[in-house]
């Protein structure tokens, strides 16, 4: 299934819109399973007003029905474009909806972090043999390096000697108050990534997230119950796997 992506011709710090589109389409190819599950809205990609502004997906569609995705990547840093676009694309796959903040929003934000990590892993392999342009194969190692550097930051690792369940239990209240704790999202995302690396069809389940209003869920079990209720039974095993990893034992 194809997807409509338009890159606005604005100030990308030297990056060419055609090249940026090539990167975004490479990212989309990593999620083909989810695109085969359900159609996706047309996307318009534009630079943030200031490079310091965070990437984001705008809730309000354009007058022509496009989803606006804003990236703060500039120049030819393809790994950064890919990382940011994959995160925002995941919001679209997950049927993003207001409110922007509720106690379980961190789960969607974490899945979007997983999407970024998944895409970088995907492109580090696919660009070795089938990059968007033949001379771009030399960029493939840059994706691996980008993710390794991201993982190596102390704030993106579990404290020495601490197991994930204990860490999550101690951070859960903070995440419920602020879904955009990016370092925490990264740590949780690293725990969930193996689910999607084992079977990329797991992204099909994400196409049913937020179809039912889960913002008023009284517990994490109720949140996942909403997701499970919206999804076909054939995808429940993926939802179960994510829930199992996010349930403190």
The mean pLDDT of 203-211, rounded to a whole number, is 98
Considering the domain architecture, whether residues 237 and 170 belong to the same structural domain is answered as yes
Which of 93, 123, 148 finishes a domain?
93
Considering the domain architecture, whether residues 241 and 118 belong to the same structural domain is answered as yes
Which of 93, 123, 138 finishes a domain?
93
Burial of residue 211 (CB within 10 Å: 0-12, 13-18, 19+) is middle
Considering the domain architecture, whether residues 151 and 85 belong to the same structural domain is answered as no
Tell me if 199 is assigned to some domain: yes
Considering the domain architecture, whether residues 87 and 127 belong to the same structural domain is answered as no
Considering the domain architecture, whether residues 14 and 118 belong to the same structural domain is answered as no
Considering the domain architecture, whether residues 207 and 136 belong to the same structural domain is answered as yes
Considering the domain architecture, whether residues 112 and 233 belong to the same structural domain is answered as yes
Distance CA 30, CA 90 (A): 11
Tell me if 197 is assigned to some domain: yes
Task: Summarize pLDDT for 46-59 with one digit per residue, the tens.
Answer: 999 998 999 999 99
Confidence of residue 249 (pLDDT cuts 50, 70, 90): low
Task: Summarize pLDDT for 96-110 with one digit per residue, the tens.
Answer: 988 778 999 999 999
Tell me if 190 is assigned to some domain: yes
pLDDT attached to residue 132: 97
Task: Summarize pLDDT for 28-46 with one digit per residue, the tens.
Answer: 999 999 999 999 999 999 9
Considering the domain architecture, whether residues 11 and 52 belong to the same structural domain is answered as yes
Tell me if 207 is assigned to some domain: yes
Tell me if 99 is assigned to some domain: no
pLDDT attached to residue 98: 84
Considering the domain architecture, whether residues 56 and 173 belong to the same structural domain is answered as no
Considering the domain architecture, whether residues 80 and 145 belong to the same structural domain is answered as no
Q: Is the pLDDT of residue 16 over 80?
A: yes
pLDDT attached to residue 8: 97
- Mean pLDDT of all residues in the chain? 96
Considering the domain architecture, whether residues 114 and 235 belong to the same structural domain is answered as yes
Total domains in the fold of the chain: 2
Q: Is the pLDDT of residue 1 over 80?
A: no
Task: Summarize pLDDT for 219-232 with one digit per residue, the tens.
Answer: 999 999 999 999 99
Tell me if 21 is assigned to some domain: yes
Tell me if 240 is assigned to some domain: yes
Tell me if 204 is assigned to some domain: yes
Q: Domain containing 77: what range?
A: 5-93
Task: Summarize pLDDT for 82-91 with one digit per residue, the tens.
Answer: 999 999 999 9
Considering the domain architecture, whether residues 109 and 28 belong to the same structural domain is answered as no
Task: Summarize pLDDT for 128-184 with one digit per residue, the tens.
Answer: 999 999 999 999 999 999 999 999 999 999 999 999 999 999 999 999 999 999 999
pLDDT attached to residue 99: 79
């Amino acid at each position: 299934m194809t997807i409509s992506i338009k890159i606005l011709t604005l100030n990308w710090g030297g990056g060419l819109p055609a090249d940026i589109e090539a990167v975004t389409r490479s990212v989309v190819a990593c999620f083909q399973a989810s695109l085969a599950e359900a159609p996706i809205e047309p996307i318009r990609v534009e630079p943030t007003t200031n490079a310091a502004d965070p990437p984001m997906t705008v809730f309000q569609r354009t007058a022509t029905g496009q989803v606006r995705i804003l990236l703060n990547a500039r120049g030819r840093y393809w790994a950064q474009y890919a990382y940011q676009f994959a995160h925002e694309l995941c919001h679209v796959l997950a049927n993003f909806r207001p409110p922007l903040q509720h106690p379980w929003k961190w789960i969607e934000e974490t899945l979007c972090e997983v999407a970024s990590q998944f895409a970088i892993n995907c492109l580090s392999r696919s660009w070795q043999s089938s990059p968007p342009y033949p001379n771009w194969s030399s960029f493939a190692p840059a994706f691996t390096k980008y993710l390794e550097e991201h993982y190596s930051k102390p704030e993106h690792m579990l404290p020495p000697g601490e197991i994930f369940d204990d860490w999550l239990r101690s951070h859960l209240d903070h995440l419920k108050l602020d879904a955009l704790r990016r370092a925490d999202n990264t740590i949780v995302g690293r725990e969930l990534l193996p689910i999607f690396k084992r079977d990329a069809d797991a992204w099909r389940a994400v196409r049913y997230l937020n179809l039912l209003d889960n913002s008023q869920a009284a517990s994490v079990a109720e949140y996942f119950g909403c997701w499970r209720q919206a999804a076909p039974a054939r995808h429940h095993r993926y939802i179960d796997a994510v829930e199992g990893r996010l349930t403190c034992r």
